[in-house]
Structure 1
Amino acid sequence: MPDDESDVVEQTYDPAEDDDATVGSANTMRERAGESRLKLWILLESNRLVATGVLAGAVFVVLLLVGVVLEPPFATSVASGDVLDSIFTTMASGTITGVTLVVTITQVVISQELGPFDDQRVRMSGTMDTREYVRELTGLDAAPADPSALMSSLVAAAAIEAGNVNEATSKIDDEDATEELAEFTDSLRQNADVVLDRLDGAQFGTFGLLSSALDFNYGRKVFEVDRLLARHNDAIGDETREALGDLRDALVMFGPAREHIKTLYFQWALTSLSQSVAYAAVPALLVSLSMVAFVDAATFPGAFVGIDSILWVTSLALALSLLPFLLLLSYVLRIATVSKRTLAIGPFVLRDSQR
């Protein structure tokens, strides 16, 4: 605990005195994550229906193996009691509860779009003001209406401003300032080139658009601009200082634009989730009710490849009955992962890999 105000001042971070900062920091989400490519692909990049199918297949295999290994044999347990009735009655109830939950989520998403006329007018006014600012910032005749084109225009504007900074840097006599600014602008333009390639043709409603936007590490770049301005304030001229200010404006605008795209994607994804769960709930319920009403130990006698037929049927039926829950799980994993990686807007570093 500091004893007086002077101790507080001494402990305050001064970017102008930071000799250990690295301007060429990691840019893409994969580089910043510090986690395996496979894990990120499963959580984020893979198709949600494919991910659900893989989860269902894993459930089927695990249940089958457990049924084979444990004693007494599953067929004996089914023959001696009401195992199937208990299991699938619970599954049917769970499916109905899950669908109700998803319908509630959909209502919450839809409610955000509802409101009186004056609220809608305020939303429209804010949108048009922002589009005008983007038009002035990018120098385009009109701000793009397509989400991928809008994000591309902001990334391209940042790359252009970085080029202006690089050009102005050539007129600086200070070697340290010239080297750091050149390294920073080179890193930014390389990152921008990668993101622009990924954004080209990306369609809204797919995760590819949001994933591309997440690969532009704008928050760290805003911090770097502020740090470089403070560190080399005496060495750089007015031209370089103005160019860095314009670059900062472009980077700062990218933040709320990305958050807006993320919000729209979450609404789209949750609506798609509701539809998918509703579609999957019908066959899941039919399977569960059929197992309760029509299946017992005598329905599927014998064995297939050494495993009781009733165990094959029950494992498959359970995997199918879990489809609504597995769909919900696959979507929530992606949304939660994206939310965790974009908790802060602006130049905040929350991950140890970026400190």
Structure 2
Amino acid sequence: MSDGETPSDRLRDRAAGSRLKLWLLLDADRWLVTGLLLAVVFAVLLAAGMVAPDAAETLRTSDSVDTLFQALLTATITGVTLVLTLNQLVLSQELGAVGDQQERMMGAMEFREDVAARIDTPVSPARPSQFLRALVTVAGERAADLRQAVGESADAELREEVAELSDSLTENADRVAAGLDNAQFGAFDVVSSALDFNYSWKIFAARRIDERYGEALDSEASDALDELIAVLKLFGPAREHFKTLYFQWDLINLSRQILAVSVPALLVSAVMMAFFDPTAYPGTVFGIEWVVVLVAAATTLAVVPFVILLAYVMRIATVTKHTLSIGPFILRETDDVTEVEWDR
């Protein structure tokens, strides 16, 4: 397994697209993304008003303003209905009979006990960031144990592959652990750092070492490899669980924010339909007709709920796309994978 065969650990390096695009989709504050999108909407409307022939005259002599804001009013009401549907979706995950709740509780406790046993502590951490940090830190320690266990092996290729896996894993674990340190759940930092731990590739690499050199490993090295794989296998469901909780948290925040801005958006649309007279605003500002500026500004305010929804859904969809698989499956096109031999 040469360096050229090892994919990058960072999601931003593995994913297609520019760093700016991924920053906007993932890391940027959602209100900042909303503001940028609204600025684009306003600028495009102004540009269209400047370029279109007789745009101001068309607004004054036709019913286009009423038609536009009637459609926006209907869309806002539909958006609020969608928000209520999202809230019901989130609530449906929390509602259930006492037996179902007990089963969820027992499953969570059993998983925490499994993790505690693997990380050699009486009780596993309670905070999501520290829970994931403990797993990646112990994974790095198990990789170091494996490297030490095969240090005296006569098989140079085995030592080389284990050293490469160990170096990659410990470096990745240290970087992810630093990102998770003191990260607060609810912010994207926890999920963002967890996405940069390429556990699925490391499980594949460790199992491939077991397949190729299993018979050459002594008991100490074999146990160290099994322990490493076991810890990595626990990280997958832990990350997926916290990712799901984060999505629920984000959808709740999204619902509250859309409900908060929907009333002003409805009022803007209603005022433009009931009271706005395009003929009452002659003159220009910076060479642009006043009526064009006012209609563009009102339209931008009216689409705020939709733009907030777009900003949040972009991040949720991006994270979901890059975490569709759990375990050692690689869904994207890549030249970085050496296939396992299959003789049948």
Q: Could you say which TM-score interval applies, normalised by the shorter chain?
A: over 0.9
Q: TM-score, normalised by structure 1?
A: 0.92
Q: What SS class does the counterpart of residue 280 from structure 2 fall into?
A: coil
State how many pairs are aligned.
336
Residue number in structure 1 paired with 2:57: 76
The answer to whether the 8 A contact 1:88-1:288 is kept is: yes
**Cα displacement (A) at 1:21:** 8.7
Task: Describe the shift of the 1:296–1:219 C-alpha distance in structure 2 as closer, same or farther (beyond 3 A).
Answer: same
1:40 alignment partner AA:
L
Residue number in structure 1 paired with 2:342: none
Residue number in structure 1 paired with 2:32: 50
Alignment of 1:76-225 (within 5 A): 76-225=57-206
1:310-348 Cα deviation digits (max 9, x unpaired): 111110111110000011111111111111100010000
1:198 alignment partner AA:
G
Instruction: Give the Cα separation in 1 of the matches to 2:87 and 2:294.
Output: 34
Instruction: Give the Cα separation in 2 of the matches to 1:324 and 1:198.
Output: 32
**Cα displacement (A) at 1:33:** 1.2
**Cα displacement (A) at 1:301:** 2.1
Instruction: Give the Cα separation in 2 of the matches to 1:34 and 1:161.
Output: 31
Choose which of 229, 238, 241 in structure 2 pairs with 1:248: 229
Residue number in structure 2 paired with 1:319: 300
Instruction: Give the Cα separation in 1 of the matches to 2:322 and 2:6.
Output: 20
**Cα displacement (A) at 1:180:** 1.1
Choose which of 32, 53, 74 in structure 1 pairs with 2:14: 32
User: Is 1:346 equivalent to 2:327 in the alignment?
Assistant: yes
Q: TM-score, normalised by structure 2?
A: 0.95
Instruction: Give the Cα separation in 1 of the matches to 2:16 and 2:168.
Output: 19
CA RMSD for the aligned pairs? 1.3
Residue number in structure 2 paired with 1:229: 210
The answer to whether the 8 A contact 2:49-2:56 is kept is: no
2:31 alignment partner AA:
L
**Cα displacement (A) at 1:75:** 1.9
Residue number in structure 1 paired with 2:248: 267
1:194-243 Cα deviation digits (max 9, x unpaired): 10111111111111110100000000100001101111123322211110
**Cα displacement (A) at 1:35:** 2.5
Answer with 141-150 or 233-242: which moved more. Answer: 233-242
Runs of 5+ consecutive residues of structure 2 not aligned to the other structure: 338-344
Q: What SS class does the counterpart of residue 13 from structure 2 fall into?
A: helix
Instruction: Give the Cα separation in 2 of the matches to 1:50 and 1:79.
Output: 34
1:269-306 Cα deviation digits (max 9, x unpaired): 11111001001101111111111111112332211011
User: Is 1:293 equivalent to 2:274 in the alignment?
Assistant: yes
Instruction: Give the Cα separation in 1 of the matches to 2:241 and 2:3.
Output: 30
- The percent of aligned pairs where both chains have the same amino acid is 45
Q: What SS class does the counterpart of residue 133 from structure 1 fall into?
A: helix
The answer to whether the 8 A contact 1:23-1:180 is kept is: no
Runs of 5+ consecutive residues of structure 1 not aligned to the other structure: 1-18
**Cα displacement (A) at 1:165:** 0.5
